[in-house]
Amino acid sequence: MVLVIDTSSHRSALALVAGGEALAEDVVMDGRERDLPERVLAIVEPRRVEAVAVAVGPGSFTGLRVGVSYGVGLAMGLRVPLLGFGSLDLQAARTGRAATAAVDAGRRRLYWREPGAEPRLGAPAELPRELPVVGWLRPDTAEAVRVAGLLLVPDKALAGFAQTAAMLVGSAARLGYDTVELRYMQSFRPMRESRG
């Protein structure tokens, strides 16, 4: 069975999946808390974990570091494969409709991706008008999305986390313990003139 960890948003999501089926799920509201080990123990006996799958972003800087470093450490300790998937891929897979997947990027902006396109970073008003939005957004960001005239699909109208993760882990990429790269973009840029 595969332990799935997604701490890319303000929610901290754990799932246990096997053979395309969801076995357990634990989603809490604060992706920065530090009790991942206890929550994992509550859903699985670690030696039964055959692989660890982590969301590598884009998303919360702190959340990703907490979840991915824990996932890497667990996979190394158990000597099981480490798998990685995109946070926006998971959110997009929660609906059968064409939708823009989104996650908080900080400072009232979003990482977002239209079907078949590359992830982008921008304000809610930059998202395509014609597509509904799926994603775990903080309340203030969700409100900004609605104010921008976009439809944010309610969580209850989407497939659950574990159910979606169960489908996704089959195609998740195998990662090296020491070569995991987090995907977060942000807008800060060095001044060109300061080089050299």
Partner 1 sequence: MDTTTSREVTTVGPEATEAAAAHLARHVRRGDLVLLKGEMGAGKTTFVRGLARGLGVSGDVMSPTFQLVRVYPGPVQLGHVDLCRLTEAAEVADLGMDELLDDGAVVVEWGDRLAEPGAVRLAIDVLDGRRRRLRIEEAPAEWSW
Q: Interface with partner 1 by CB under 8 A: which residues?
A: 60-62, 105-107, 109, 184-192, 194-195
* Minimum CB distance to partner 1 smaller for 156 or for 192: 192
* Minimum CB distance to partner 1 smaller for 171 or for 186: 186
User: Residue with structure tokens 């993760």?
Assistant: 165
Report, in Å, the least distance between residue 193 CB and partner 1.
Answer: 9
CA 14 – CA 31 distance, rounded (Å): 11
Give the pairing of strands 51-55 and 82-85.
parallel
Report, in Å, the least distance between residue 176 CB and partner 1.
Answer: 19
- DSSP string of 20-74? TEEEEEEEES-TT-S-HHHHHHHH--GGG--EEEEE--SS-HHHHHHHHHHHHHH
* Minimum CB distance to partner 1 smaller for 70 or for 184: 184
* Minimum CB distance to partner 1 smaller for 38 or for 193: 193
Report, in Å, the least distance between residue 75 CB and partner 1.
Answer: 22
Report, in Å, the least distance between residue 50 CB and partner 1.
Answer: 32
* Minimum CB distance to partner 1 smaller for 107 or for 174: 107
Cα torsion at 64, 70, 76, 77 (round to 10°)? -170
- DSSP string of 92-130? HTT-SS--EEEEEEETTEEEEE-TTS--EEE-GGGS-TT
Report, in Å, the least distance between residue 97 CB and partner 1.
Answer: 30
Nearest to 183 by CA among 63, 91, 75: 63
